[in-house]
Amino acid sequence: MQTALHFKAQVLPGNKVEIHSPELSEGEPVDVFVILPEQKRSNRDSVLDLIESIRSKHPFRTPEDIDKQLQGEREAWDS
């Protein structure tokens, strides 16, 4: 059966983390998992949030609708 040990540690100078434990045997291979603390979310939305916001404010338009609008703009330039 696998044994798991849980440690809290601080990153040392040089971006190093040391683990000392009597349960560890010198030379024995181990798997180490590092879980970083959650970062505070900035006030800025992600790109996906921005896209969703834009989509919710503007109804879905088909390519034909867009072509029709562009054609109307072109005609307005010519007159």
| pLDDT per residue as tens digits for the range 11-38 | 999 999 999 999 889 999 999 999 988 8
| Strand ranges, E, within 1-79 | none
Exposure string (b/e) for 26-38, b if CB count within 10 Å is 16 or more?
A: eeeeeeeeeeeee
| pLDDT per residue as tens digits for the range 34-72 | 998 887 766 777 888 888 888 788 777 888 988 999 999
User: At which residue do the structure tokens 């040990």 appear?
Assistant: 5
Contact call for residues 32 and 16 (beta carbons, < 8 A): no
pTM greater than the 0.75 cutoff: no
Residue 34 and residue 32: Cα distance in Å, rounded?
A: 7
The total of other beta-carbon atoms located within 10 Å of residue 65's CB is 11
